[in-house]
Amino acid sequence: MKSPAIFDYPLFALGFRAFFGLAGLSALLLIVLWNAIFKGELTLDNYFANTYWHAHEMLLGYSVAVIAGFLLTAVRNWTGRPTSTGDQLAGLCLLWLYGRIVPFYAGLLPDALIALIDFSFLPALAYQVSKPILQVGQYRNLIFIGLLLLLTLGNGLMHAEVLGLMSGSAWLGIQIVVATIIIMILVIAGRVFPFFTERGLPGTLALRNPVMDALSIGMAALVFGLQLFNISGAVLASTAVLAAVINIARVSGWYVRRIWYVPLLWVLYIGYGWIILGFVLMAFSAYGLVASTLALHAFTVGGIGVLTLGMMARVSLGHTGRALRVSNAMAIGFVLINLAALFRVLLPIALPDWYGILVYASTLAWLAAFSLFVFVYAPILTTARIDGQEG
């Protein structure tokens, strides 16, 4: 006789519920902690150096939680096979959560144990996601397993430097993780943007162009590859500009002016726009015209931050049987997350003397946006589907 699940609650009925909830809470807590550390108001013993901790947690903490929630939900749709739920899903969530907590036990726990706990999550996620894909033979979706393994490699390089196994590998790991997340977003965009546009705007036909999809992803990978090998100047600049142009052409096939009446759509398109801007800023930084950190934050605060918030809002509504319309509060949240990117990326170019103030303003806008997400979506994520279906 099968024992009843301990975690038999709506929150653990499907991957997006628990992991989007964790992502929303971590987006708040991690930034509050980082702001206090950045301003010198808080000093904490940590396995990571402060800057590396911030990068690690926003990329391999917050962003990976969103990725986990999306993939555990999407793979069930793609394959028709179940993914982790109940106790198994709760176990994955606890493993992710322990990875956020144990770095603060540096000196009390062995560094190798801290690294192992954090490192284990992505391989565990890749294993759980790969099972239904392999069961039905959807080998094209194994690209996501490859991308999860690249994230694992980046995480491993960060830990390798902390453990003294390699020198200077942490920054390389961060670059690999950022590149992999952006490429994953570009892959997913080709699958969901046309569908979401047609669903959100009845009568619309979004043009799908597999060649343009491949070119946009390939050029992005080439740009990040050049960056990883420290190739700059005209080669990086011209490649980055070409990547921006190709991605503009790709998005133009899906774009219709009516998206501006639908917050669930315009937030995604603006998020994609931040990624395109990231490539443009990379071209400028290749000639030393702007700081390379501005391009980095265009990809992270802009591209990843805006798109993940928009995706969590859209997926959570669709998979709980609700109408695909966000509240006014969440639409304000979408504006705020874009203001966070504006303050962090573009305004420092025009107002370099205000950099500290602008970073603080970006922090406040980010916190306000995710506070609204948690407030609006906590009841949605923790209660059963309103249409009575599973999930």
pLDDT at 4: 55
One domain, residues 241 and 333: yes
What b-and-e string marks burial along 62-97, b requiring 16 or more CB atoms within 10 Å of the CB? bbbbbbbbbbbbbbbebbeeebbbeeebbebbebbe
Q: Is residue 160 predicted with pLDDT exceeding 70? A: yes
One domain, residues 240 and 306: yes
Q: Is residue 26 predicted with pLDDT exceeding 90? A: yes
Could you tell me the pLDDT band of residue 5, with boundaries at 50, 70 and 90?
low
- The neighbour count for residue 328, using CB atoms within 10 Å, is 9
One domain, residues 157 and 239: no
Q: Is residue 326 part of a domain?
A: yes
Tally of structural domains, the chain: 2
pLDDT at 103: 96
- The neighbour count for residue 244, using CB atoms within 10 Å, is 23
One domain, residues 161 and 84: yes
Three-state DSSP at 153 gives helix
**For residue 145, what are the domain limits?**
10-167
One domain, residues 106 and 208: no
Q: Is residue 155 part of a domain?
A: yes
Burial of 390 (0-12, 13-18, 19+ CB in 10 A): exposed
More confident call, 65 vs 51 = 65
Bin 208: left if φ > 0, else alpha if -120 < ψ < 50, else beta: beta
Interval 261-311: pLDDT, tens: 999 999 999 999 999 999 999 999 999 999 999 999 999 999 999 999 999
Q: Is residue 187 part of a domain?
A: no
pLDDT at 176: 98
One domain, residues 240 and 386: yes
Q: Is residue 17 part of a domain?
A: yes
Domain final residue, candidates 121, 148, 167: 167
Interval 237-265: pLDDT, tens: 999 999 999 999 999 999 999 999 999 99
Q: Is residue 324 part of a domain?
A: yes
More confident call, 206 vs 59 = 59
pLDDT at 94: 97
The residue type of 351 is L
Interval 119-152: pLDDT, tens: 999 999 999 999 999 999 999 999 999 999 999 9
- Which of 97, 89, 110, 126 minimizes the C-alpha distance to 11? 89
Q: Measure the CA angle with vertex 61, ends 55 and 65; round to 5°.
A: 140
Q: Is residue 382 part of a domain?
A: yes
One domain, residues 252 and 381: yes
Least confident of 3-17, 22-36, 93-107, 254-268: 3-17
One domain, residues 139 and 32: yes
One domain, residues 231 and 357: yes
> Tokens for 305?
């931050």
One domain, residues 257 and 358: yes
Domain final residue, candidates 167, 191, 214: 167
Interval 102-118: pLDDT, tens: 999 998 999 999 999 99
Q: Is residue 367 part of a domain?
A: yes
Average pLDDT, the chain: 95
DSSP 310-323: HHHHHHHHHTTT--
User: Do the beta carbons of residue 31 and residue 300 sit within 8 Å?
Assistant: no
pLDDT at 1: 41
One domain, residues 159 and 256: no
pLDDT at 286: 95
* Dist CA 89 CA 13 (whole Å): 8
Q: What is the mean pLDDT of residues 45-50?
A: 90
Least confident of 45-54, 113-122, 150-159: 45-54
User: Do the beta carbons of residue 151 and residue 64 sit within 8 Å?
Assistant: yes
Q: Is residue 178 part of a domain?
A: no
Domain final residue, candidates 167, 190, 214: 167
One domain, residues 209 and 330: yes
Q: What is the pTM (predicted TM-score) of this model?
A: 0.96
